[in-house]
């Protein structure tokens, strides 16, 4: 049952019985604020023209009509121009029957909409770092949430496998690598290639300093540094399909892909389709050439191609360099067109950091000017950066928090804290390993996803593994605690699964049921806002509510058999809902801890 719609219909019918035909869309009903008694609140002020009475008198009149006309409404209270409606306990017990019997509770009916969500989008010149972790976790979770809302979702990865930044690593390897490979060094391929990206930057800075000391301006030195000129020449050769350069590019990218796959598996993220910029940039260049012929773009004296967006409140944007090589915008144009043509998409979502907000404004506008109206269905899911206590990360300087190191550190910290708290005492070594990895990754994922995507966040690994407070381990431990209760019930042959859930409910049990009833709307809200934080905070609130209830009321040792079975069924439903919510975040929940 859609409770919000049901209450709206009941209220509308009763208002019409009092005052005649009304526009039900104008009736304002919302959840009652926690500091007041009630479940739903009707805003009475818009109805005063119909009632011709004071706000308090109008609210009282409607409240009396509701309690007379609907058995599900047990009472009401009036606070100024607001009518707080109280639903009967039996109403909530009936809702609990529906929830506990539903295997896919919270999941929505198919919509038929095809949505592609792009996330990860790594460069093949360096390993994944903490910023990529937020991107991957956010993209994967939003994909799960959109699936739960009934959409057909295609998870896509666009690999930035070409460009000047890739050539920097290649040149450095040629000059200083001495034939090093992942096998000869014992390093993951993405780490090895990333080291040469840092190596390039070190030599580049040294050459700039030498040129400046020789009397050249810093700006000129940056352009004339020999190692940079070599990288630019390599990019031109790559686009000309020079066999030697192309073979080196394929070899080093292969190392990186193998390394990425290990990290993706450890993070628990995957993709339905992988696109490569090397396969779409030519389509982008053809779009630019077409736009040039049609007068949408213009060519400058140096041969570069631009679009003038000043009339649209933006500026001039480069689309092709003077030497004919493409830029990010060029390949994004080609990739967007390829995706729409291949997948019959209704919407494209790009999970990219907020430093690229302007880029996506331009992308949508350029596509629109080229005549592609589907550009209106492009959405940039812009997220804030992840910062550390000691400041921002810089790939060129090698000061990033490596994703692989972070994952292992989280697992190690989870093990230390779990052992200290005695949570692994009854586990085998295999179980302990599984739990520590589950808790470590759960802590990492939850800490990142509980923050609204738009906000910049400060990552604190130790705080994330606290077993108390708004953390992944707290929720995982609550789930494990409930599983332990249910295992003991099974050992005692208590049949709670066929329990009818009838009878009186304690006020605390009703509160849990109300929160359970909110789950479908929570999933819908998270899907509308592309915000896993909505799910994360719901899971925390539900666990906090259950733990408070469990602290005050016995479940297994309840003397009344009907109450004991009902409480077990309530605990079971909470555990299933928590597991469902955490799955939308890409987080596993343990059966025991």
Q: Which domains does the chain have, with CATH numbers?
A: 3-87 (3.30.1360.70), 119-387 (3.40.50.620), 403-584 (1.10.730.10)
- Residue 590, pLDDT > 50, answer yes
User: Which tens digits make up the pLDDT trace of 265-290?
Assistant: 999 999 999 999 998 888 999 999 99
The better pLDDT of the pair 160, 418 is held by: 160
Per-residue pLDDT tens over the stretch 473-516: 999 999 999 999 999 999 999 888 877 766 678 999 999 999 99
From residue 195, give the alpha-carbon distance in Å to each of 95, 246, 402.
58, 21, 12
Q: What is the mean pLDDT of residues 447-462?
A: 89
Query: Long-range contact list for 365-368, CB < 8 A, 24+ apart?
Result: 365/309, 365/312, 365/314, 366/291, 366/307, 366/317, 366/319, 366/329, 366/333, 367/333, 367/336
Structure-token match 């967006």, residue found: 309
Longest Cα–Cα distance of the chain, Å, equals: 93
Q: Cα–Cα distance between 454 and 547 in angstroms, integer?
A: 31
What percentage of the chain carries pLDDT values higher than 90? 81
Residue 389's pLDDT band (cuts 50, 70, 90): low
Strand order in the sheet with 305-308: 298-299, 305-308, 316-320
Average pLDDT, the chain: 93
Asked whether residue 314 carries a pLDDT value surpassing 90, the answer given is yes
Q: Range with the lowest mean pLDDT among 43-57, 491-505, 522-536?
A: 491-505
Instruction: Give the model confidence (pLDDT) of 390-406 as tens digits.
Output: 644 444 444 568 899 98
**pLDDT tens-digit readout, 4-40:** 999 999 999 999 999 999 888 889 999 999 899 999 9
* Mean pLDDT, range 60-88, rounded to an integer: 95
Alpha helices, H only, 177-295: 182-185, 189-213, 218-224, 226-239, 243-267, 277-293
Strand order in the sheet with 273-276: 273-276, 152-159, 114-118, 347-353, 378-383
In this structure, of 221-230, 359-368, 417-426, the range with the lowest mean pLDDT score is 417-426
**Which range, of 19-23, 84-88, 118-122, averages the lowest pLDDT?**
19-23
pLDDT at position 393: 41
| pLDDT score at 463 | 83
Average pLDDT of the residues in 118-125: 95
Question: What is the pTM (predicted TM-score) of this model?
Answer: 0.91
């Amino acid at each position: 049952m859609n409770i919000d719609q049901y209450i709206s219909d009941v209220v509308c019918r009763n208002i019409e019985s009092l005052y005649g035909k009304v526009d039900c869309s104008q009736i304002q009903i919302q959840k009652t604020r926690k500091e007041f008694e009630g479940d739903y609140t009707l805003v009475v002020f818009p109805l005063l023209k119909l009632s011709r009475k004071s706000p308090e008198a109008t609210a009282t009149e409607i409240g009396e009509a509701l309690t007379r006309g609907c058995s599900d409404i047990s009472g009401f209270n009036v606070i100024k121009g607001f009518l707080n409606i109280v639903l009967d306990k039996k109403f909530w017990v009936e809702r609990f029957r529906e929830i506990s019997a539903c295997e896919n509770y919270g999941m929505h009916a198919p919509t038929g909409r095809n949505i592609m969500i792009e996330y990860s989008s790594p460069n093949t010149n360096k390993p994944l770092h903490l910023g990529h972790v937020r991107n991957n976790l956010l993209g994967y979770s939003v994909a799960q949430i959109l699936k739960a809302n009934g959409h057909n979702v295609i998870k896509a990865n666009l690999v930035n496998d070409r460009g000047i930044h890739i050539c920097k690593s290649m040149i450095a390897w040629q000059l200083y690598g001495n034939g090093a490979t992942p096998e000869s060094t014992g390093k993951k391929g993405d780490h090895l290639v990333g080291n040469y990206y840092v190596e390039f930057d070190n030599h580049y800075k040294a050459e700039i300093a030498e040129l400046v000391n020789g009397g050249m301006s810093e700006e000129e030195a940056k352009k004339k540094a020999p190692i940079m000129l070599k990288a630019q020449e390599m990019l031109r050769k790559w686009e000309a399909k020079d066999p030697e350069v192309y073979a080196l590019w394929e070899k080093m990218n292969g190392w990186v892909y193998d390394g990425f796959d290990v990290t993706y598996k450890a993070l628990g993220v995957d993709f339905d389709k992988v696109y490569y910029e090397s396969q779409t940039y030519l389509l982008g260049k053809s779009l630019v050439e077409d736009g040039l012929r049609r007068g949408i773009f213009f060519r400058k004296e140096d041969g570069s191609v631009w679009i003038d967006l000043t009339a649209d409140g933006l500026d001039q944007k480069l689309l092709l360099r003077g030497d004919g090589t493409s830029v990010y915008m060029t390949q994004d144009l080609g990739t967007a067109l390829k995706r729409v043509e291949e997948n019959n998409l209704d919407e494209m979502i790009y999970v990219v950091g907020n430093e690229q907000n302007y880029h996506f404004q331009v992308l949508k506008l350029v596509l629109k000017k080229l005549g592609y109206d589907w550009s209106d269905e492009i959405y940039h899911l812009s997220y804030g950066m992840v910062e550390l206590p000691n400041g921002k990360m810089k790939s060129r300087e090698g000061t990033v928090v490596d994703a692989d190191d972070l994952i292992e550190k989280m697992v190690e910290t989870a093990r230390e804290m779990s052992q200290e708290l005695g949570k692994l005492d009854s586990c085998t070594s295999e179980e302990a390993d599984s739990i520590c990895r589950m808790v470590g990754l759960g802590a990492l994922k939850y800490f990142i996803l509980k923050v609204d995507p738009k906000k910049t966040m400060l990552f604190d690994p130790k705080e994330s593994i606290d077993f108390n407070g708004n953390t992944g381990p707290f929720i995982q431990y609550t789930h494990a605690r409930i599983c332990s209760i249910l295992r003991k019930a099974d050992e005692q042959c208590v049949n709670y699964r066929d329990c009818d859930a009838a009878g009186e409910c304690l006020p605390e049990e009703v509160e849990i049921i109300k929160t359970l009833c909110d789950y479908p709307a929570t999933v819908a809200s998270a899907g509308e806002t592309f915000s896993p934080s909505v799910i994360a905070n719901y899971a925390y609130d539900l666990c906090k509510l259950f733990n408070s209830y469990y602290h005050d009321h016995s479940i297994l040792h309840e003397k009344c058999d009907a109450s004991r079975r009902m409480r077990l069924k309530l605990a079971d439903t909470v555990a299933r809902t928590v597991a469902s919510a955490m799955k939308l975040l890409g987080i596993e929940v343990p059966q025991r801890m």
